[in-house]
Amino acid sequence: MANGITAREAKRLQTRERLLGAAIAEFKRAGMADADVGAIVGAAGVAHGTFFFHFPTKEHVLLELERREEDRIAKRFAQFTKSHKDLPSTLREAVSLVMGLERRLGVLLFKDFLALHFSPTRPPAAASGDKGAEHGDDHPLIVLVADQIEKARQRGDTDPDLTPMNSAIYFLLGLYALLITTDDSPARTGLVDDYLVRTLRSMQ
């Protein structure tokens, strides 16, 4: 026993981590659809069937990556909002965190990540319920951004009639769409800045 788990369980977790790392590397190289499972298991040093034991489909790799990245971003955003209360600063931090995610994943994997993030056909094991997925309340960053918008509304900094959750969804969906369609555009920084300004203006 080590840290409350058996040696067998520890080995299983290590194998899963190797597979996850190898799969992410292959997804970055080729995209999820064209990723070669043979290359993944070869890099991880395991049998072909071991991949499907841990991840029933390639989409399940993205689901695990999504969970981890959302947790990471949510923690950083929550920490930021402890010392920054104004809405412009918090929305700009959300933009920075999402763009940081894009840099970590690379263009191909970032697009796959977002495609699955809002897909109506994502594997059922991924979500806690269809209703939550439709409304965005199973995505931590959306919930945290909505909370900041609600606090701004309570302070009188925004239109009192806006719906915070809807505004958070509109903001992040628009940001994601802008990023995946301007990944190599020299005008991207200006477009993102303008998007943020216009988003804030629309909430006033």
Residue 202 confidence (pLDDT): 95
Q: What is the pLDDT of residues 111-144, one digit of tens each?
A: 999 988 878 777 765 443 333 334 445 689 999 9
Q: Write the DSSP assignment of 18-79 as a string of letters.
A: HHHHHHHHHHHHH-TTT--HHHHHHHHT--HHHHHHH-SSHHHHHHHHHHHHHHHHHHHHHH
CB atoms within 10 A of CB 172: 22
Per-residue pLDDT of the chain (204 residues; tens, 9 = 90+): 455 678 889 999 999 999 999 999 999 999 999 999 999 999 999 999 999 999 999 999 999 999 999 999 999 999 999 999 899 999 999 999 999 999 999 999 999 999 888 787 777 654 433 333 344 456 899 999 999 999 999 999 999 999 999 999 999 999 999 999 998 889 999 999 999 999 999 999
Round to whole Å and give the CA distance between 23 and 59.
11
Residue 122 confidence (pLDDT): 77
Q: What is the dihedral of CA 171, 130, 62, 196, to 10 degrees?
A: 0
> First vs last Cα of the chain: how many Å apart?
57
